[in-house]
Structures are given as C-alpha cells and as structure tokens.
C-alpha cells in the first residue's frame, strides 16, 4: 500500500506499558482466537464452538514489561495511518446518508487488557468491543500472521484493522445490537449463523473502506488485494478446523468459510457501497 505522507489518527490509546493480571478471554474475535490457539498448540475447536459475542473462558495472564522494538514502532505508525483512513472514509460515507460517524478508539495492548466487554489476552486476537466502542489489538498478532501462517503484507494487515472497524460501523448503524439481541434468543447453532452474517458483512465493509480509500489516495498497489484475500482464506472457519483436526464442523462456524470471507471482501472492494453488503437477506446457504 502507498501510505507515505498520509495523516495518522490521534484516536489511539496506548496501554502497552500498563501492568497487572486480567482474565483471559475476549469478544468478537472467536475464529482469530482459534487461530492463535492452533498456533500455540491448543485446541481451536474448543474456541470456535463458542458463540461470537460471548466472553471466551480462560485463566489469568501476567502482563510482561513492554519494550518496543523498531518493528513495533513501524507497526504502530502503520495502524495509526490505516485507522485515520477509516475515519476519513466512513465520515464521508455517513455524511452522504445524512448520518454522523463517531470513530472508534483503537487501544494498543501488550499481553492482556481490560475492555468494556471484559478481560482479554493477546491469544484472543484483535477484537471490537461495542460496550466502549473501541478496537483492541496486540501488535504481536500482525507479526504472527506473517511469521506463522504466511498471511502478511500491508493490505492483509489493513484488512484485519478495517474488519474490526467494520464491526463499529455495524454498531453505529444499529446492525450489531439487533443481531446480538437475536442471537441471545436462539440455539447455539442458529446463533452461529447470525454471527457468520455479521462477520461476512464486516469483511465486506473492510472491502468498502479499501475501495474508497483507494479512490481518495490511490493507495492500493499490485498484489495488495491478493494478500488480503489470502489472509481471509487462512482465517476461514473451515480452513482452521481442517488444519487443526483434519475435518470441519459446519454447525460451529461463526465467521464463515474461507471462500465466503474472501468472496465478501472482494465484493466490498469491487462495489464500494454500504448498500451492497446485505448479508442478512440472502438464504444462509447462498452466502
């Protein structure tokens, strides 16, 4: 991505030097937690069987002293620039519809953090908390993406951030709250289907951001889209479950298959409009 000379967001809270213990867990990033569980030798199936929107179980995690390196500093600048890009795009897109966009805060943490949705650790992966309207990320996740599963590149990293901001867009539009209310009244398998619809829409909205960011700044370079599509493939429910166990459990899917995630991301990049991302009207089998 071409990001040189662009502004950086000031809407960032850095908690990487704070200490203390918090309970392991998180919200809104279940399949990413499964990815990290797989990376660390755990059982990702136990994670993906949980409902999105619910806190993940776990013990406690001691916060380690944080000492940034040059890669951390580079990633911090990158994340800040991407966040600024989402602020610009979504502010304009909301204004076109007579709405006001209130950007989310992005919280950087190291090891563990306490959010408005409860305690979380780095093993949870990046997540959005609607209770405090903030995106949380431990930058080590981006390093793990590149080093452990080979899903690297600027636009792949930007996709991760834009996906979580997509959940904030859903929250601002009232979609997230309505979906979570529906999920609370359904069985686990049926609630998982609502979760898949939410996650695929967030993938689509990440694509919408990329489309409009590229229109504004000519930011996308050759190979960028392929990097992001590859990342979407490698965090699909079916891909992770098959890598971990050799088989997939479709009723436990709560983020979508590799094909679905990459397809909705590509659709967002192509269409570039909020209206094109209706993942709730189509039959579940046609997503």
Number of residues that make up the chain: 287
Token pair, residue 139, equals: 């930058």
Closest CA to 269 of 222, 228, 217: 228
Closest CA to 28 of 60, 6, 1, 50: 50
Distance CA 133, CA 177 (A): 12
Q: Is the dihedral of CA 232, 237, 242, 244 positive or negative?
A: positive
- Pairing outcome for strands 12-14 and 118-121: unpaired
- The pLDDT tens digits along the chain (287 residues) read 999 999 999 999 999 986 434 333 333 344 444 454 433 333 333 343 333 333 333 334 444 567 777 888 999 999 999 999 999 999 999 999 999 999 999 999 998 999 999 998 888 889 999 999 999 999 988 888 877 777 778 999 999 999 999 999 999 999 999 999 999 999 999 999 999 999 999 999 999 999 999 999 999 999 999 999 988 888 888 888 887 889 898 888 989 999 999 999 999 999 999 999 999 999 999 99
CB 213 within 8 A of CB 233: no
């Amino acid at each position: 991505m071409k990001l040189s000379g662009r502004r950086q967001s000031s809407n960032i809270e850095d908690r990487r030097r704070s200490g203390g213990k918090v309970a392991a867990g998180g919200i809104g990033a279940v399949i990413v937690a499964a990815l990290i569980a797989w990376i660390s030798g755990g059982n990702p199936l136990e994670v993906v069987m949980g409902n999105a929107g619910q806190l993940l179980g776990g013990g406690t995690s001691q916060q380690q002293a944080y000492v940034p390196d040059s890669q951390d500093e580079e990633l911090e600048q990158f994340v800040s620039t991407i966040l600024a890009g989402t602020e610009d795009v979504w502010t304009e897109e909301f204004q076109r519809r007579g709405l006001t966009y209130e950007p989310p805060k992005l919280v950087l943490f190291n090891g563990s953090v306490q959010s408005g949705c409860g305690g979380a650790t780095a093993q949870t992966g990046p997540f959005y908390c609607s209770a405090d309207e903030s995106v949380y990320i431990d930058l080590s996740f981006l390093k793990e993406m590149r080093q452990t599963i080979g899903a690297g590149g600027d636009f792949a990293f930007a996709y991760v951030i834009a996906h979580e901001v997509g959940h904030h867009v859903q929250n601002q539009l009232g979609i997230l709250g309505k979906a979570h209310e529906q999920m609370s009244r359904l069985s686990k398998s049926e609630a998982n289907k609502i979760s898949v619809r939410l996650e695929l829409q967030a993938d689509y909205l990440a694509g919408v951001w990329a489309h409009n960011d590229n229109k504004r700044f000519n930011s996308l370079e050759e190979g960028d889209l392929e990097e992001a599509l590859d990342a979407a493939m490698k965090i699909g429910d079916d891909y992770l479950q098959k890598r971990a166990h050799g088989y997939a459990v479709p009723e436990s899917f709560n983020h979508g298959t590799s094909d679905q995630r990459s397809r909705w991301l590509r659709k967002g990049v192509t269409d570039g409009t909020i209206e094109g991302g209706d993942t709730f009207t189509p039959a579940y089998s046609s997503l």
